[in-house]
Amino acid sequence: MTTTDLKDGRIVGIAGPVIDAEFPQGELPEINTALEFDVAVDDSSITIVAEVAQQIGESRVRAIAMKPTDGLTRGTIVRNTGKGISVPVGDGTLGHVFSVTGDGLDDPNAGSGSER
């Protein structure tokens, strides 16, 4: 299955960093799959990554967000990436600090050309 074949879901529950998302029948993301959703913050939008931790029934998953979920609402569209969270690796990453989602903390361009 390619990423273009994956179906979007929607958020049905939020409890701090824990979100519950519902997907179409037969399109449930696997455990450890990265989900992405956009949240409006101060007239802009940020993308938050969450990792599926549990499958609940046949159409819902429980995931842990890697950033604060302030401003997130039920009904927000969730994208199934079809792959796990990845971080850059290689010579361009040496000596730099990265977040859990692979964003450069000390240099935003660190690792930008590196393999993930």
Are residues 51 and 11 both part of a single domain?
A: yes
Instruction: Assess whether 68 and 13 both reside in one domain.
Output: yes
Kindly state whether residues 7 and 20 are assigned to the same domain: yes
Look at residue 3 in the predicted model and tell me its pLDDT.
Answer: 47
Q: How far is CA 87 from CA 9, 21, 54, in A?
A: 24, 24, 22
Q: In terms of domains, do 46 and 94 share one?
A: no
Same domain membership, residue 81 and residue 27: yes
CA dihedral sign, ordered 110, 97, 38, 5: positive
Asked whether residue 12 falls in the same domain as residue 24, the answer is: yes
Judgement on whether residues 52 and 62 belong to the same structural domain of the protein: yes
Whether residues 8 and 58 share a domain: the answer is yes
Mean pLDDT of the chain: 88
Beta strand 18-22 pairing with 44-56: unpaired
Tens-digit pLDDT profile for residues 26-63: 999 999 999 999 998 888 899 999 999 999 988 999 99
Range of the domain at 36: 3-85
pLDDT of residue 108: 76
What integer is the mean pLDDT of 9-25? 97
Angle among Cα 43, 4, 14 to the nearest 5 degrees reads 45
Domain total of the chain: 2
Same domain? 25 vs 80: yes
Arithmetic mean of pLDDT, 4-17: 88
Q: What is the CATH number of the domain that holds 73?
A: 2.40.10.170
Does position 102 have pLDDT exceeding 90, yes or no? Answer: no
Are 63 and 21 within 8 A, CB to CB? Answer: yes
Under the banding of pLDDT at 50, 70 and 90, the label for residue 90 is confident
Q: Give 32's contacts (C-beta < 8 A, 6+ positions apart).
A: 51, 52, 84
Same domain, 74 and 101: no
Question: Residue 98: its pLDDT value, please?
Answer: 81
Same-domain pairing of 29 and 47? yes
| CA angle (39, 72, 28) in 5-degree steps | 90
